[in-house]
Every structure is written in structure tokens, then in C-alpha cells.
Amino acid sequence: MEQKGCCVWFTGLPCSGKTTVADLVAEELKKKNLRVERLDGDIVRQSLTRDLGFSKEDRDKNIERVTFVAKLLSRNGVAVLVSFVSPYRKARDHAREECTNFVEVFVDTPVEECEKRDVKGMYAKARAGEIKDFTGVDDPYEAPLNAELILETVETTEEECCRQVIEKMAQLGLIPSAGGEGTPEEPVYSPEEEEKIQKRLEDLGYL
């Protein structure tokens, strides 16, 4: 089947696990020989949007530029995996309108858990007032109302989250299904393999 372009948009608090899961999903999709691009907050802010800060206005500009890139890629048959805090609903809704096959994934990790996972100590700095406008501390996070998928990451492993994303993408027909649909699209066995299998079944009296 021809690959469909799509934009899987991971949103959630800082340190909620967006990058971890999106990276795993990217690996899985590459294993399936699909075209994949990652747009990750930390990386994009070092290049495409390095002139921007964290005010509401700058955050909106940041997401607007990312949306633009995701739009170009997704309409050209690439699976784009975007991982940004992207706290504002309106900005995400705009991305949904612009991109081909938009899939919103809400990485729903409670703020206490995010703080525990915060290796760079950003939450502590925000609490101490050293960082301003930090989402979850002194800047709001507007949780998605209609996300295609919500990931619970406290009781669930990162691999399982990845599996859920892949499953959702398959359900939406964006990638080939992992199976279990009753009638596989392609034959499972090549003619030579089928001959071998028939022989094995015959040897056991199963044919």
C-alpha cells in the first residue's frame, strides 16, 4: 500500500515523555520502511525557531512555523512526528486544519510525575522563579479536548505507549495493520514456503 502522509502531534507538559515515545514510534516506522521525519521541540528551537522565546506570542510563532513544515511534509507522503509542549489549544487546532491526516496524541502525565522525571531540573528552576512562563508552573497547559489518543505514562511502559500509537495509526489506516484482520492483504507464505509447510503438515498427518 502507498504510504499516506500524516502528522502525529505529541502534546503534553515538559518531561511528560513526548520525545521518548515519539522517538520510539519513529524507530518502529523506519523498521516498516516508511518515510519518517521528527520535529522535536528541543531541536527545532536550536535552529528553525532559535530567535523565539517562551512568551505566549513567541510560543504561537514557534508552533506556527512547525505547523508549516509539518504541513509540507505530511502532504508529501511523510509520517511527521511532532513533539512539542504546544500548550495552547488554538495553536494545535490550527495545526490540525493545516496538516494532512492529523493525529493528536495527548501525553497525559501528571505534573508531579513530570517533575520527578525532570533530569535538567527545569521544574525546580521554574519553582524558584529562575525560569519564567514555564508550562505547568506559571504558564497554563490547555489539555486537548478531542485527542485521537491519550497516553497514560505512569502505569505504562514507553514501549507500550509506542505500541498504542502504532496501533492507532494502523486503525486510522495511516500505516499497514499489524494483522489480526482476518484476511491478510499479502500471502503470508511464499510459494516455496507454502510447499514446505504443506510437507510438514503431511508429515504429521494434518493434511
**Cβ proximity to another protein, 51 vs 203, nearer residue:** 203
Q: Nearest approach, Cβ of 164 to another protein (angstroms)?
A: 7
Catalytic residue chosen out of the listed positions 16, 74, 83, 86: 86
Angle at 150 between CA 147 and CA 155, to 5 degrees: 170
Inter-residue contact 139 to 126 (CB < 8 Å): no
Inter-residue contact 4 to 21 (CB < 8 Å): no
Inter-residue contact 11 to 59 (CB < 8 Å): no
**Cβ proximity to another protein, 93 vs 158, nearer residue:** 158
**Cβ proximity to another protein, 32 vs 56, nearer residue:** 32
**Residues in the site for another protein, rule: CB under 8 A?**
17, 19-20, 31, 117, 119, 153-160, 163-164, 166-167, 178-184, 188-189, 193-194, 196-201, 203-207
Coil, helix or strand at residue 87? coil
Question: For the chain, how long is the longest CA-to-CA vector?
Answer: 76
177 is catalytic: no
Q: Nearest approach, Cβ of 16 to another protein (angstroms)?
A: 9
**Cβ proximity to another protein, 138 vs 202, nearer residue:** 202
Q: Nearest approach, Cβ of 154 to another protein (angstroms)?
A: 8
Distance CA 117, CA 112 (A): 9
Distance CA 15, CA 6 (A): 24
Q: Nearest approach, Cβ of 75 to another protein (angstroms)?
A: 28
Gyration radius of the chain's alpha carbons: 21
Catalytic residues: 86
